[in-house]
Amino acid sequence: MADKKYVLFITYYFPPAGGPGVQRVLKFLKYLRDFGWTPIVLVPKDADYQARDESLVKELPEDLIVRRAPIFEPYDLYRKFTGKQKGVSLDVNVIKEEGAKLSMSERVAEFIRATLFIPDARIGWLLNAVKEGRGILREYPVRAIYSSSPPYTPALVARRLHRLSKVPWIAGFRDPWTGFHNTPDRWMLPRAIDRSLERSVFKEANIVEVAWKGIANDALGKYPEIPREKFVHIPNGFDSADFPEPDIRKRGERPHNRKCTITYSGSLYGPRNPLSFLKAIERLIERKEIDPENIKLRFMGRFGAEIHEMLDRPLIRAMVEKIDYVPHARAVELLLESDALLLIVDEVPTVAEIVPGKVYEYLGAMRPLIAIAPPEGAIGDLLRETEAGEAVRQSDIEGQARLIKCIYDDWREGRSSFAMRPEIISRYERREATRALTELFDRVSA
């Protein structure tokens, strides 16, 4: 045991959890041993995951050490209070567009959430997780601790264990913390508490590892006294093992679809919605530039109620194929069966810096991207680097129509207007991201 380099992972999202939140940690755990590190994972017991994918359990190393600590989750109470049915996904139905009307029960529930659940609704895991974590540190010679956020409670668990043990700690973030568009709008006192917790995590962690650069910029804008060199960017990626054809160049061969098929995969809600894209499609139909009989708009994932209404618009209703959340392997198959892939970034003030993890899996599928995002932002830079598609602002309906027409004409004529650079795209393999993370472990534990 002493000759092994153990690292303790503290995470909320863990198989059988589904959705994008679980993929980053799952792939790290899958490849860590290739670089000499043995993971131990601390996760909640019987967590209330909004999406489940039992197939992901098969990707975990067979001898992975997993410890579970009980968690109190308030979601069933929230559903009862707001009149939502048991099992309704709250993440896609709670996040609303700015200015959207809320019912009285939703306003009260949001006030309670913003006042009592700091930093998030998983705070009921903190004490049990710390207790279990202390047991792990007594049993194994752990050389490093890694926490994955959001949610942000795992960072507080890691902070406590780091304080008690002095074991080096890397705090990982897939999204910013306070003030991000899907975090509560708190009043003065809980906001100050939340900011204090955030600052302490950034200050006390040995390294803060971020999935996109905007997370570091957000933190440094709030806490300029923290050294910039503490923040390390390790981008998300794709795993070639998830694709039936591991050769990325062969993956780029075009499918032979009877209809031009544009696929969206993921969640849609409030500020992340397809309305401008649908308007662009309607404009092309009205101008007779595309034949609605020859195009399929496939949306797969979990959607808020308002999204279902958008997809039922009269002009496009017959073109839409809605698919509920499916196992990850099936989602990959549907990406590969598409002529183009649709990416929609939340329309929020920080939109230019947001880089969803989904974009890398799209790149791995080697299908052209239609990205509803600022062309001059991080997504636009990535697409120019890989020549995999184009980013168009949400407000630019005509620009979206032009890009959709290009995809449609390519399908009709059997060509591709996008070069796609596999030698660049292959740099974003999950295994390479894991290599970069283990280099951080080596650094802090030296």
DSSP sequence for 350-393: TGGG---THHHHHHHHT--EEEES-TTSHHHHHHHHHT-EEEE-
Instruction: Enumerate the H helices of 287-341 as residue ranges.
Output: 305-310, 328-336
Are 416 and 368 in contact, with CB atoms under 8 Å apart? yes
DSSP state of 17: B
Q: Locate 264 and state its tokens.
A: 């969206």
Q: How many other β-carbons are positioned within 10 Å of the β-carbon of residue 361?
A: 26
pLDDT of residue 94: 47
Dist CA 209 CA 213 (whole Å): 10
The pLDDT score that the predictor gives to residue 81 is: 56
Q: pLDDT tens track of the chain, all 446 residues?
A: 668 999 999 999 999 999 888 999 999 999 999 999 999 999 999 998 888 999 999 999 999 999 999 999 887 666 565 555 655 554 544 454 555 566 776 677 777 878 888 999 999 999 999 999 999 999 999 999 999 999 999 999 999 999 999 999 999 999 999 998 878 889 999 999 999 999 999 999 999 999 999 999 999 999 999 999 999 999 999 999 999 988 898 888 888 899 999 999 999 988 899 999 999 999 999 999 999 999 999 999 999 889 999 999 999 999 999 999 899 999 999 999 999 999 999 888 888 999 999 999 999 999 999 999 999 999 999 999 999 999 999 999 999 999 999 999 999 999 999 989 999 999 999 999 999 999 999 999 98
A 10 A CB-CB count for 163 gives 12
Predicted confidence at residue 296, as pLDDT, reads: 98
Burial (Cβ within 10 Å: 0-12, 13-18, ≥19) of residue 365: buried
DSSP label of 279: H
Q: Which two structure tokens, joined as six digits, stand for 377?
A: 């932002």
What's this model's pTM, rounded to 2 decimal places? 0.91
Calculate helix-pair angle for 104-116, 75-82, nearest 10 degrees.
Answer: 150
26 close to 433: Cβ distance less than 8 angstroms: no
Look at residue 87 in the predicted model and tell me its pLDDT. Answer: 53
Contact by Cβ (8 Å): 416, 254: yes
- Distances in Å between the Cα of 114 and the Cα atoms of 13, 81, 105 are 22, 16, 14
Please name each of the domains of the chain with its CATH number: 5-74+117-237+430-445 (3.40.50.2000), 240-427 (3.40.50.2000)
Q: Are 391 and 384 in contact (CB under 8 A)?
A: no
Q: Tokens for 99?
A: 């200015």
State how far the Cα of 188 lies from the Cα of 205, in Å rounded to an integer: 26
* Omega within 30 of 0 (cis) for the link into 422: no
pLDDT for residue 305: 87
The dihedrals phi and psi of 342, each to the nearest 5 degrees, come to -105, 130
Helix, strand, coil share (%) of the chain residues, nearest 5 = 45, 15, 35
Does residue 366 contact residue 420 with C-beta atoms inside 8 Å?
yes
Residue 372 pairs in a beta bridge with 344, 392
| Number of Cα atoms under 13 Å in the Cβ half of residue 141 | 7
Map tokens 């892939």 to a residue: 341
Half-sphere exposure of 175 (CA within 13 A, CB side): 17
The DSSP element (H or E) to which 41 belongs, if any, is strand 37-45
Report the first-to-last Cα separation within the chain, whole angstroms: 18
| DSSP 8-state secondary structure symbol assigned to residue 137 | H
Closest CA to 201 of 209, 189, 211: 209
Tokens of 189: 């006192």
- Residue that has been written with the tokens 């649709």 in this structure: 342
Q: What is the pLDDT of residue 92?
A: 46
Closest CA to 274 of 246, 248, 308: 308
